[in-house]
Structure 1
Amino acid sequence: MKVEQLVEAIAKLDAKDALQCRLTVDEWKSLAPYLSVRFLRPGDPLMEEGDCEREFFILADGELEVSVAGNVIATLMPGTVVGEGTFFSGQPRSATVTPSTPGVAWSLHWDKFDAMSDKQPKLAIHLVKGLAAVLAVRMREALLVGHFA
Structure 2
Amino acid sequence: MYLNGKPTETLDKLLARLPQLTKELLDGFELNASPITLEGIDDLYSHFDRDQMFLVQDGVLYLSKNGQNLVSFDEGDLIGILQAFNMPGPVLRTDEFVELIPIDRERFLRHVYADKRLQHYWSHLLVCQNALLVNYLADMFRDQVRPTAGFQNIAAGETIIRQGDIADHVYTIISGEADVYVDGQKVGDIGEEEVFGAMAVFTGEPRSATVIARTPCTIMAVPQKDFILLIEAQPQAAVNLIENLARRIITLNQQLIDKTDA
TM category (shorter chain) comes to 0.5 to 0.7
Larger Rg belongs to: 2
CA RMSD of aligned residues (A): 2.7
1:88 alignment partner, SS class? helix
Select the residue among 233, 238, 252 that pairs with 1:128. Answer: 238
Which 5+ residue runs of structure 2 have no aligned equivalent? 1-144, 258-262
Other-structure match for 1:36: 150
3-state SS, counterpart of residue 59 of structure 1 = strand
Aligned residues: 113
Of residues 107, 117, 121 in structure 1, which corresponds to 2:221? 107
After superposition, give the CA deviation of every residue in 1:52-94 in whole Å (9 maximum; x if it has no partner).
2132211111111111111222232212221121121121211
Match of 1:49 in 2: 163
User: C-alpha separation between the residues in 2 aligned to 1:42 and 1:141?
Assistant: 23
Provide the identity percentage. Answer: 23
SS in 1 for 2:161: coil
Q: Which amino acid aligns with 2:241?
A: L
1:91 counterpart = 2:205: yes
CA distance in 1, matches of 2:189, 2:202: 23
Unaligned runs of 5+ in 1: 1-30
Please give the TM-score of this superposition, normalised by the length of structure 2.
0.37
Residues 68, 138 of structure 1: CA spacing in aligned structure 2 closer, same or farther, 3 A cutoff? same
Distance across 2 between alignment mates of 1:136 and 1:73: 15
Question: Retained in 1: the 8 A contact 2:194–2:244?
Answer: no
Q: Tell me, what secondary structure is at the counterpart of 2:165?
A: coil
